[in-house]
Each structure stands twice: as structure tokens, then as C-alpha cells.
Amino acid sequence: MRMTNFSPVRSYRRWLDDHRLLVWQTVIILIVLALSAGLALVSSLTLAAVIFAVPFLVAGVAFLQQRPYMGLILLIAGSLLFPLELIYEIGLTAIIVLGLTALWLFDMIVIKRKATLLKSPAIPPLLAFLGITILAFLNGQIPWYPVDPAPMDGQVGAILILLVVVSAFMLAAHQIKDVVWLKWMVFLFLGLGVVFIAASLIPQLRNIVIRFLPPQVTSGSMFWTWMITLAFSQAVFNKKLSNPVRAGLGLIVLTILYVALIPARAWISGWLPPLISLFVIMWIGLPRQAVYATLVGGAVLLTQVQNLLDNLIYVGDNSYSEVTRLEAWRIIAQIVKVNPILGVGPANYSYYTPLFPILGWYVQFNSHNNYVDIVAQTGILGLICIIWFIWAIMKVAWRVRKMVPEGGFEQAYVYGVIGGIVATFAAGMLGDWFLPYVYNATIRSLRTSVMPWLFMGGLLALEQILLQRQKSSDQSLLSGK
């Protein structure tokens, strides 16, 4: 008699295939119930309000499961428009990103049973950085100094910030399957950003924005950097846009430059990264004009260097800030000497700084520098990972630059992202802009710091779209023969 080959795992997989919709419905209900219980515990929402919200949450999760790319649209809109922090210590942006990531992983691992990542050189350094950060966290529990390290919520918060930006990058890279959704992301970001730009010029509107919209948006260097980057690249290189739209985008660029260089010139992080981005984009897409601009700019620097220093660099308290930052970096280097390979752990160095006086004061302080923060928290290994990522993402960008058709959205997007990448990681020298420090910019500044990671992830998605387009074209040619 022939024996039936019975496998519990095979039966389980067959059952999942037959009941995929039921599984999703069950998971959605459980997620919503868990979120509802959490909201009821950590916020002032009444039970009645939570019960009222449950059907909408169920519908929302089901909708995002069917259309995951809409989650990225929700992320941009929620980060820029809604000041509500559902769980104040975590922040709305982090909650949205982590929720979307959970849905993506569940769909990939449980439903599709195919856990695959893009084969891109930009992904391994980020995964390695996450791994190094976990090792640094464990290493940070060692009593390196005779004082307590950062509280556990601070250490976990620092890890969470990294997890959020990496997750945002991965979501954009894996869930954007059509250029139309990249367009939605770019023009939604630019459209909503116009509100904040107008508020910087109109006092009456500024009062409304301050009252009803998130305050972290206008104080984030990445918001202004990527606004001017995407507006400039689309205005100049996307010839498929109508002339009025291109003129409007140009007006955005000019307005940001005015605000950054005139009324807000004391804030170097507000004008230097955007100028770096414009400079890079011009050299890539408009090399002849870039030569003229460089010659003119160089002449101005040589002849007006003192005036520029007095009116742009050493404005307000920038001179004092320069002195204190350099001293802070020197002291943090001393702190990290106990373990330069892995640092002293996420968030811990702030609690060791009072042991080392800064300008005679025994106080807690931060570095206001992404790279110093990375070395202090994750050591040389962490710094190697971020440098590796910068090299890898630029390699991808340069490769995609040669793949895009001329004169359209894709070319403008790639040129903009290249300029944005250089500006973003240059801005890291001026503050904790691309990876917020938990005790300085805090996790709530992810509202703007997450944007470069989304658009860099979109670059990987665009590469896959172009490769698939080329593959389809090749197949059509073969079938035509």
C-alpha cells in the first residue's frame, strides 16, 4: 500500500494559500485592537473615541495592505501636516514608518513566503549599520565610566531612530513599482512645502502655521534642502512640465534662497546645504553654466571673503557656536578613547560629558554633528558603515543617471537626488540632520529627517523600474523577430 507523504509544514502552507484573505483579516483586526488598546493606555483618548476609530483603522490597514505605495504618500502628508503625536515619546512619523514596515514584512514573510531584498549595493551597509548599533548597545552596558549611562529609554530611542530611517529607505526601495508614485511623492512634498515657504514671508499665515502645523518642519535643514533640490531639478530638467509649472517651481527655489540668505542667514544649516545641492546638480546637468557660476562664485569669494564671513558665517552666536562645537568634538574624542571600535553605546556619551569640563563647565552637551555622534555611539565600525553607504548610494545614483531618458521626470529626479545626497551628508557636519540624535534633535525631528531616506530609497525603486522597462522592451523586440 502506498503511503501518503504528509508534511505539517506543507499542509500549513497549503492552508495559508487557501485562506490568505482570512489570515489578513485576522491580522488586521489584531493589529487594530492592539493599537486601540495602546492608544487608550498612553493617551487621553476616551474609550468611546477609540471604539469609534476602530472601523476606520481596520479599513485603513486593509487599504494599505492592498496598496502599500499609498503608505509612503500617507507618511509624507502625515509628517508635514499633522502635529498630533499619538505616542509623544515616539512621534507620528516613527509610528507610521514602523506600522508600514510591519505590514510589509508580514506580507513578504507570512503571506507571500518569499523574503527577498533588492540586490543593491546600498542595502548591505545599512543592515550592517543596524547590526553594529545592536552590538554597540550591548557593549554600552559595560560601565565604561563611574557614572550611570543614558536611561534605557534613551538608548532604545537612539536605536529606534536608526531603525525608522533605514525602514523608510527600504519601504521606498521595495514598494514603489511605478514612476507615477515617485511623482506623487515629489510633488506632494513640494506642494505641501509651499505652505511653509509662504508662512516664512507672510506673518498672518505664519501664525496659523505655528498654531496648527508641526513646528519641527521649518526647523529641519532637510526640509529646506530637499525642497530646493527637487524644485530646482524638476524646473530645469523636466521639460514635460508646462511652462507655468516650471516657473512656479523656479519661484520656490528663488523664495527659499531669499529666505535662507537674507532674513535667516544666521542659520548656516538653512542655506549652505541647499547651495551645495544646487552646485552639484548644475555640474551634473548644466556643466557649461556650472563653470561660469563657479568662476563668478570664486571671484566673489576672493574679493569679498571678509564681508561674506561677517554677514553669512559669523552672524548672531555663530562664533561662539564654532568654539563650543570644536571643544565638544575634542572632548567626545576623549570619551570614545575607552572603546574606539564600538563607541560607548547609543545615547550614552551625553551622560559621560559632565566628567569632562567644556570651557570650564561640567554639563551635559551634544556634538551637533552626525559623524561625531556616530563615532561616539557606534565607534569606527559605525562610521565605516555610513561611509560605505554614501559610496554605495552614489554608485547607484551614477549608474541610474546613465539609464534615464532625457528631458523627463526620471532624469530630473536622478539629478536632484544626486545633489540631495551630497547636500544631506554635507549637512551632517553642521548638525544631526540626517540621523537625529535622541537628546538633541530628538525622535520627533524625523518628520523632516526621514525625507532624504525616502527619496534615496526611491532611487533604488527607479532603477528597478528602468531595468524592468528595458527587459520588457528587449522581450518585445525578440518576439517581434
DSSP letters along 67-93, please? -THHHHHHHHHHHHH----SSTTT-HH
199, 334: one domain: yes
Residue 5 lies in a domain: no
Burial of 188 (0-12, 13-18, 19+ CB in 10 A): middle
Q: Check: CB of residue 196 under 8 Å from CB of residue 209.
A: yes
For residue 437, what is its C-alpha cell?
Answer: 540624535
Alpha carbon dihedral 45, 51, 53, 58, in 10-degree steps, equals 140
Residue 8 lies in a domain: no
Residue 366 lies in a domain: yes
Residue 274 lies in a domain: yes
- What is the residue type of 28? I
Could you tell me which of 416, 404, 412 has the C-alpha nearest to residue 462? 404
For residue 366, what is its C-alpha cell?
Answer: 551634544
Residue 315 lies in a domain: yes
453, 423: one domain: yes
For residue 288, what is its C-alpha cell?
Answer: 557649461
Residue 195 lies in a domain: yes
Split at pLDDT 50, 70, 90, the class of 187 is: very high
Q: How far apart, in whole angstroms, are the C-alpha atoms of residue 263 and residue 318?
A: 15
DSSP code of residue 468:
H
Comparing 177-191, 229-243, 399-413, 467-481, which segment has the lowest mean pLDDT? 467-481
Domain range for 261 is 125-480
Residue 11 above 80 pLDDT? no
pTM reported for the whole predicted model: 0.87
99, 170: one domain: no
359, 473: one domain: yes
140, 83: one domain: no
Residue 159 above 70 pLDDT? yes
C-alpha to C-alpha distances, 130 to 137, 165, 261, 347, nearest whole angstrom: 11, 11, 37, 15
For residue 5, what is its C-alpha cell?
Answer: 507523504
C-alpha to C-alpha distances, 451 to 102, 221, 376, 474, nearest whole angstrom: 20, 11, 25, 35
Burial of 161 (0-12, 13-18, 19+ CB in 10 A): buried
Q: Please give the angle made by the CA atoms of 328, 333 and 313, to the nearest 5 degrees.
A: 40
Residue 430 lies in a domain: yes
C-alpha 309: how far from chain center = 31
360, 266: one domain: yes
**CB-hemisphere CA count at 13 Å for 308?**
11
69, 157: one domain: no
3-state secondary structure of 27: helix
474, 364: one domain: yes
85, 228: one domain: no
3-state secondary structure of 121: coil
60, 176: one domain: no
Q: How far apart, in whole angstroms, are the C-alpha atoms of residue 236 and residue 238?
A: 6
Q: What is the pLDDT of residues 59-91, one digit of tens each?
A: 666 667 777 788 899 999 999 988 876 655 678
Domain count, the chain: 2
Q: What is the pLDDT of residues 96-118, one digit of tens each?
A: 899 899 889 888 887 777 878 99
For residue 267, what is its C-alpha cell?
Answer: 542659520
* Residue 361 β-bridge partners: 358
Residue 157 lies in a domain: yes
Domain boundary among 58, 76, 111: 111
369, 423: one domain: yes
C-alpha to C-alpha distances, 313 to 225, 264, 435, nearest whole angstrom: 18, 12, 24
Q: How far apart, in whole angstroms, are the C-alpha atoms of residue 470 and residue 422?
A: 28
Q: How far apart, in whole angstroms, are the C-alpha atoms of residue 259 and residue 15?
A: 60
Q: How far apart, in whole angstroms, are the C-alpha atoms of residue 112 and residue 90?
A: 30
What confidence score (pLDDT) does residue 228 get?
97
Mean pLDDT for 133-152 is: 95
What angle do helix axes 221-237 and 268-285 make, rounded to 10 degrees? 30
Residue 349 above 70 pLDDT? yes
More confident residue, 325 or 16: 325
Domain boundary among 111, 139, 168: 111
What confidence score (pLDDT) does residue 206 get?
80
Residue 446 above 60 pLDDT? yes
437, 305: one domain: yes
Q: What is the largest CA-CA distance in the chain?
A: 97
